[in-house]
Structure 1
Amino acid sequence: MKSIRVAVAAAAVAMALTACSSPMQAGAAAVVGKERISTSELNEDTQAYLAALKRANLDESALGGVPASQIVLQRLVNVSVSRQLAARYKVQVSESEVDAALRDPGQFESPEINLLANGVTPTDARDYGRAIVGLSKLQQQFGGQAGQQRLTQEFISIKPVFSPRYGALNPQRTQENPALFVDTGRFGKLTQQAQAQG
């Protein structure tokens, strides 16, 4: 069976580690700036993602220990942040630019595997492609390679608030412990296993 490693941009890691906690809207998996990601949207996208993995002869074990729902939630959050930044800085992305981004195989053997590695289902590919191109254009607007730090700062300025049902963000993500969230146990207290990892 093929194996894919989840591709995570530096900005996404920084965003995840700086997420704040505040009151959560009922039925929301996350609130990102002014946008709400519903639990039902996350569940539907996760099921579509698992089906796309299956069509590619992969299963959840190919994700390196990260649950599919966490990969999909991270992608939904990253796309939401990217969309809000593009609107803030009036970045326009053409359909042909999205098409070109979706043909990029990245570090993988095919564009399809590249998308799956980023938690993207075929139905969400255009939104994801638009987000990637928008971030690239925004970095250029900020000064090219020198603009990477500012892009990261802008990205983390839109802090997601995650539903506590997922646990707490994992501040020490590693290859051995790739999960986006750690189990906090009942009432938000870290379980002994999570405390030992922290």
Structure 2
Amino acid sequence: MTRTVVFWRHGQTDYNLAGRFQGQSDIPLNAVGADQAARAAADLAELGPDLIVSSDLVRAAATADALASRVGLSVGRDARLRETSFGDWEGLTRDEITQSWPDELHTWLSGADTRPPGGETRTESAHRVAAAITDIVTGSDAEVTVIVAHGAVLRGAAEELLEMTGTGRLAVLGNCGHGEFGFTGDRWVLRHWGTPPL
């Protein structure tokens, strides 16, 4: 049996709006983000999810709760689904990072698998989240699972599960954007990426 797994990014935060690196800083949804979550939840409820698991960071947890309240489920929280740790860059804009780490930021923006000071590489965070998603899906008999997490790690995990070479082959989902996979038990198939009509 092929199961459905939805990757859903959290709604907007003030850090998103300001272009600040959030990473694992626990920033809440803003009013726009809460509205995005409510509207997206109404659409995703049509898929009939029977398992919802989110990052334990509040912006993802609140987004997941918007769907859970519609479909009568509780939400599992998993710290392994947290965003990439950006270390010393968290809370800063690109312009602010350039003041102290111009070469490191340039290398990171080029797509290199480099580590921000005190943070994680893209590969490390992608592997962490891909492993968590695999554990969640294979440890359940749910037919439709919704994973609620963060832009960078959802992209990285998707690329790893699809056995893509390199990074940045998929776009980062927009706030409250989602992608859908079929999972056969040993193979992941990307059905769509970026919130098409259900």
Normalised by the shorter chain, which TM-score bucket?
A: under 0.3
Q: TM-score, normalised by structure 1?
A: 0.25
- Give the structure with the larger helix fraction: 1
- Give the structure with the larger strand fraction: 2
